[in-house]
């Protein structure tokens, strides 16, 4: 039977999502727990990879199990083995041809910035700049990113295709915490951190709005902007075309 799990985790405690020999990773821990439950080696397929230090409220992964276990008992068994820094929030049964990455309709990421006084207790969970932000400029920069673009200048590593769509970028401020929500079909490695970094460069007058437009319109001319730290980034929600 094929299962889909929803996963919340504290990324500060792991070396990223992807299984990596000799390192503590989300995928590694979940596979280890599932293998104990199933009494055989189990591998999972994730909805994507988050980097070291990036958190998640709603990551997804699928896997096949050859044992007879209902959804609720599987959730309980997994959480008894994964706590305290990983928690399975939901378990569903999906069709055999379901793929947690290819079936994605929409992804939401949130980047959190502390606009108040520096607080060492939240450092692992939020970006704390030591300068004042020009949020109006950041919003103008964000508007440029919305739509279909070639994001080569905002992506780490080589790909065959750098084009993707961002449906919306929303800014919300509450109790001195600024949350920037990115809603799109898919996002590439370091892409959101680079987009936030570009907004910060515009805020600090280290880059202009024209520089941002040129970076999108002329992807083969290399432009370098700030890369925001991973601490403030959260995979917030994944929506599928079809969920069983």
Q: Which fold has domain 105-239?
A: Alpha-Beta Plaits (3.30.70)
Does 66 have pLDDT greater than 90? Answer: yes
Q: For the chain, what is the mean pLDDT?
A: 94
Mean pLDDT computed over 232-244 = 83
Does 150 have pLDDT greater than 90? Answer: yes
Predicted confidence band of residue 244 (pLDDT cuts 50, 70, 90):
very low
Q: Which of 51, 124, 211, 214 is catalytic?
A: 51
Q: Is 214 a catalytic residue?
A: no
Predicted confidence band of residue 68 (pLDDT cuts 50, 70, 90):
confident
Mean pLDDT computed over 181-185 = 96
The reply to whether 2-102 and 105-239 are identical in fold is yes
Residue-wise pLDDT for 8-27, tens only, equals: 999 999 999 999 988 999 99
* Distance, CA of 201 to chain centre: 22
Distances (CA, A) of 203 to 77, 131, 152, 188, 206: 47, 10, 22, 23, 8
Instruction: Quote the CA–CA distance of 185 and 236 in Å, as a whole number.
Output: 13
- What is the predicted pLDDT for the residue at 242? 54
Predicted confidence band of residue 243 (pLDDT cuts 50, 70, 90):
very low
Residue-wise pLDDT for 154-165, tens only, equals: 998 888 889 999
Instruction: Quote the CA–CA distance of 227 and 65 in Å, as a whole number.
Output: 40
Q: What percent of the chain has pLDDT over 70?
A: 99
SS3 180: strand
Does 130 have pLDDT greater than 90? Answer: no
pTM value > 0.85:
yes
- Whether omega before 84 lies within 30 degrees of 0, making that bond cis, reads yes
Instruction: Quote the CA–CA distance of 217 and 238 in Å, as a whole number.
Output: 29
- What is the predicted pLDDT for the residue at 29? 97
Instruction: Report domain 2-102's class.
Output: alpha beta
Q: What DSSP line would sit under 4-63, residue for residue?
A: EEEEEE-GGGSS-SS--TTS--HHHHHHHHHHHHHTS----EES----TT-EEEEEEEEE
Extract the runs of DSSP E, i.e. beta strands, from the chain. 2-9, 45-46, 55-64, 86-93, 104-114, 147-150, 163-174, 177-184, 233-240
Query: Virtual CA dihedral for 226, 198, 165, 223, nearest 10 degrees?
Result: -70
Mean pLDDT computed over 175-188 = 95
Of 3, 37, 40, 43, the closest CA to residue 19 belongs to 43
What is the domain partition of the chain in residue ranges?
A: 2-102, 105-239
Of 120, 136, 150, the closest CA to residue 215 belongs to 150
SS3 218: coil
């Amino acid at each position: 039977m094929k299962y889909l799990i929803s996963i919340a985790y504290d990324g500060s405690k792991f070396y990223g999502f992807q299984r990596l020999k000799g390192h503590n990773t989300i995928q590694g821990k979940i596979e280890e727990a599932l293998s104990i439950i199933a009494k055989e080696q189990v591998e999972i397929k994730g909805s994507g990879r988050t980097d070291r230090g990036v958190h998640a409220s709603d990551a997804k992964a699928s896997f096949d199990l050859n044992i007879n276990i209902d959804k609720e008992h599987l959730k309980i068994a997994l959480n008894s083995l994964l706590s305290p820094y990983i928690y399975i929030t939901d378990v569903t049964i999906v069709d055999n041809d379901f793929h947690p990455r290819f079936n994605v309709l929409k992804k939401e990421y949130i980047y959190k910035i502390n606009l108040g006084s520096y607080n060492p207790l939240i450092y692992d969970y939020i970006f704390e700049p030591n300068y004042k932000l020009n949020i109006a400029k950041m919003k103008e920069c964000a508007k440029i990113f919305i739509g279909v673009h070639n994001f080569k200048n905002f992506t780490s590593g080589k790909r065959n295709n750098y084009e993707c769509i961002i449906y919306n970028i929303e800014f919300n401020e509450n109790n001195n915490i600024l949350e920037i929500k990115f809603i799109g079909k898919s996002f590439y490695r370091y892409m959101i951190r680079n987009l936030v970094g570009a907004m910060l460069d515009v805020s600090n007058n280290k880059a202009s709005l024209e520089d941002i437009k040129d970076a999108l319109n002329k992807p083969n001319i290399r432009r370098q902007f700030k890369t925001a730290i991973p601490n403030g980034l959260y995979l917030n929600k994944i929506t599928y075309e079809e969920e069983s």
